[in-house]
Structure 1
Amino acid sequence: MKFISQILMLFSLTFFGCSTPYDQVHIPQPEPSIYKPGTLPPSGKKKPATQNPYKIKGIQYTPIASSKGFVQTGIASWYGKKFHGRKTSNGEIYSMYAMTAAHKTLPMNTWVRVHNLKNKREIVVRINDRGPFITGRIIDLSHTGASRIGIIGAGTGKVRVTALGRAVSYSKKTKTPTDFIPVDYWKGNFTVQIGAFQVKANAKEYRYKLSKHYQNAHIAVFTDSRGTFYRVRIGQFTNLKDAVRYSEKLIAQGISTAFAVAE
């Protein structure tokens, strides 16, 4: 417990003057994502999507680990020119002409079928952003997507959203996805994040202290509009459940900032 107290003291000093540690209250910002064939960013790097809980206007949202079997009925809206060219939550550039959408909790890069329950029109779009954060609305479509199911004029429409999963093959002619598998974050590479620093030296010192008592203590570097962050993580797991259990164990030991993340 003496070691844990020292760690917590160091962590508190590092964030002196902040009401909450970085990454604990997460407002959607450009975050890494899993890019699949046909959706690679210019750098060509493949990175895991953000699955961290985040808070908007006092309400906390927790992204679900798997899209398998997901069906939701509610109101769809759309966003267009005002956001065109801005970064989405997974780091891509939003295009009002692309077949994409925003959802509050589905894993990033999940393809979904959106069925307009009034006129029976359907579209297939990919989730690359978070939202909408207006009561009663379940999905924000791009301008093109909204136009194709006929809700541009009204602004909203009642729809059914059915998750298809991650695209595994595409049409050679239209470049649209043809086959899918469920996005599942219960399996993969996971670890537990317990600190985020903007001063690299502090992150390195924290990692060194942790390495004496925990396996796989390492630093993950992340940069967004707020700057560069050095995220200190420990542990290595092949499924999310084990990572969550480990984070809960650390919290019980006094490291309240621990939470499971995909790598």
Structure 2
Amino acid sequence: MIYNRKCILLTVIIFLFIGLGQVTVAQENTQTQTGSASWYGSKYHGRKTSSGERYNKNDMTAAHNTLPFGTKVKVTNLANNEFVVVRINDRGPYVGKRIIDVSEVAARKLSMHSAGVAQVKVEVVELDGKSIAAGEPIRPNLFTIQQGAFASQELALEQTKKLKEFDKNLPVELKEEKVEGKKVYQVRIGSFESRQHAEAFNDLLKEEDLEGLVRES
């Protein structure tokens, strides 16, 4: 009974997080967004961002919840038409329905530093070092669960088998990589539209000692 409940729950989560999620992403993440923006400054200066970089309040950077790291966007303050170009190197905002958090220096250039929040238009201008054509959809970074990394392909296949026994419909990828000249076999689970979805799914796997590490793919 417990096993059946878990199988049903897993199937629903996979469908919602991987199936419907990717359709929503394709429809919503185009090159232009309009909404509220905020900024962050001295309190976070020097802290590590989600991309691994250290936040510098004097750099033209920003946090966005889905755009790939390194993407450059033009942010226009709709109240005064001031604009800046910033590079995405962090995740957020996590407050309300805001669409972007800009650095302190960017907030000053947009004349939104004192107010703290402004209505803005965000336009993608460069992705992976290439300019983006008008209307071209933007595919955000997705998340996966790295269940393990093995020096032996046999051990990796055994782990894949355990995961399939847990749920035969579970998307599992076996990826071969080289680390310091040696082959390493990584077992990855699923493709999720957000870290929150991946973490929730990982909690289910934890009940069977099959959890892994959520990573941005």
Q: Bin the TM-score by the shorter chain.
A: 0.5 to 0.7
Q: Match for 1:122 among 83, 88, 99?
A: 83
Q: Is 1:134 aligned with 2:95?
A: yes
How do 1:42-81 and structure 2 match up within 5 A?
A: 64=25, 69-81=30-42
Match of 2:193 in 1: none
Deviation at 1:133, TM superposition (A): 0.6
In the alignment, residue 233 of structure 1 is paired with which amino acid? R
| % identical aligned pairs | 36
Match of 1:237 in 2: none
Aligned residue pairs, count: 166
Match of 1:101 in 2: 62
Q: Match for 2:155 among 197, 205, 212?
A: 205
| Gap change, CA 1:206 and 1:71, over 3 Å in 2 | same
Structure 1: gaps spanning 5 or more residues = 6-23, 25-52, 54-59, 170-178, 223-229, 235-255
Higher relative contact order (CA 8 A, sep 6+): 2
Q: Is 1:168 aligned with 2:129?
A: yes
Deviation at 1:163, TM superposition (A): 1.4
Deviation at 1:217, TM superposition (A): 2.6
Counterpart Cα distance in 2 of 1:204 and 1:81? 50
Q: Match for 2:115 among 138, 145, 154?
A: 154
Partner of 2:99, secondary structure, is strand
In the alignment, residue 112 of structure 1 is paired with which amino acid? V
How do 1:182-201 and structure 2 match up within 5 A?
A: 185=139, 195-197=146-148
Deviation at 1:68, TM superposition (A): 7.3
Counterpart Cα distance in 2 of 1:68 and 1:257? 30
Partner of 1:145, secondary structure, is helix
Counterpart Cα distance in 1 of 2:159 and 2:150? 14
Counterpart Cα distance in 2 of 1:64 and 1:133? 18
Structure 2: gaps spanning 5 or more residues = 4-12, 165-170, 180-184, 190-209
Counterpart Cα distance in 1 of 2:126 and 2:155? 41
Q: Match for 1:89 among 47, 50, 53?
A: 50
Counterpart Cα distance in 2 of 1:63 and 1:95? 33
Runs of 4+ in 1 over 3 A off after TM superposition: 62-69, 179-186, 192-195, 199-204, 206-211, 213-216, 218-222
| Gap change, CA 1:233 and 1:136, over 3 Å in 2 | closer
Match of 1:232 in 2: 187
TM-score, scaled relative to structure 1: 0.47
Partner of 2:107, secondary structure, is helix
Q: Match for 1:218 among 162, 175, 191?
A: 175
In the alignment, residue 175 of structure 2 is paired with which amino acid? H
Counterpart Cα distance in 2 of 1:140 and 1:85? 16
Deviation at 1:64, TM superposition (A): 4.4
Q: Retained in 2: the 8 A contact 1:63–1:105? A: no
Partner of 2:119, secondary structure, is strand
TM-score, scaled relative to structure 2: 0.56
